[in-house]
């Protein structure tokens, strides 16, 4: 039995879960998320919790059991607390500025780069070198943060670029280091 899959997903007060066949919709104070549960897996709602069940011990059912439970838990956490990825910029002249709800980056290219905020995603700029990506969908927050990081990946020689807050960059010594 999956150790993650057999744990119930607790549903806090203020969160409404709707089960419609294989579709699960979670509404909370921050918004609404929905998920279509894969075929062999079923979701049952008990008093204040969601139970994820699998019909048999086949490989596909086992692999989807824990995944489905984690996705449901992430949905419940997203509509109650939300998700945030903090990021920082290192490098001389590299900076970020808020342009309305969008971000404008100066990353050493000949032009500024504009990143538009998708619906359900917001940006917060603390100072010109620190910002965060916020939203209720964990997967989209992580994907947008990764796409921003790809604009200027951290350089292994000087450490310049966009990185997650607290990320350690493995540095290389270069030509002169013997």
DSSP string, 84-115: EEEEEEESTT-EEEEETTEEEEE-SSSS-EEE
Euclidean distance between CA atoms 107 and 75, whole angstroms = 34
pLDDT number for residue 30: 94
pLDDT of residue 178: 63
Nearest to 132 by CA among 85, 63, 74, 76: 85
Sign of CA dihedral 135, 2, 21, 48: negative
Whole-number pLDDT of residue 174: 85
Q: What's the pLDDT score for residue 151?
A: 96
pLDDT of 177: 61
| pTM metric for this prediction | 0.90
Low-confidence ranges of the chain (pLDDT < 50): none
* Residue located via tokens 């109650």: 80
């Amino acid at each position: 039995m999956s150790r993650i899959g057999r744990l119930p997903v607790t549903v806090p007060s203020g969160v409404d879960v709707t089960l419609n066949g294989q579709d699960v919709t979670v509404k909370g104070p921050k918004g609404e998320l929905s998920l279509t549960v894969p075929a062999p897996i079923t979701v049952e709602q008990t008093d204040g919790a969601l139970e994820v069940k699998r019909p048999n011990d086949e490989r596909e059912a086992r692999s989807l059991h824990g995944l489905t439970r984690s996705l449901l838990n992430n949905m419940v956490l997203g509509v109650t607390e939300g998700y945030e990825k903090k990021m920082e910029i290192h490098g001389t002249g590299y900076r970020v500025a808020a342009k309305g709800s969008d971000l404008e980056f100066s990353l050493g290219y000949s032009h500024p780069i504009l990143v538009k905020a998708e619906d359900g995603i917001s940006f917060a700029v603390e100072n010109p070198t620190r910002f965060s990506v916020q939203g209720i969908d964990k997967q989209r927050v992580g994907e947008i943060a990764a796409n921003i990081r790809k604009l200027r990946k951290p350089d292994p020689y000087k450490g310049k670029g966009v990185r997650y807050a607290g990320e350690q960059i493995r540095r290389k010594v270069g030509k002169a280091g013997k």
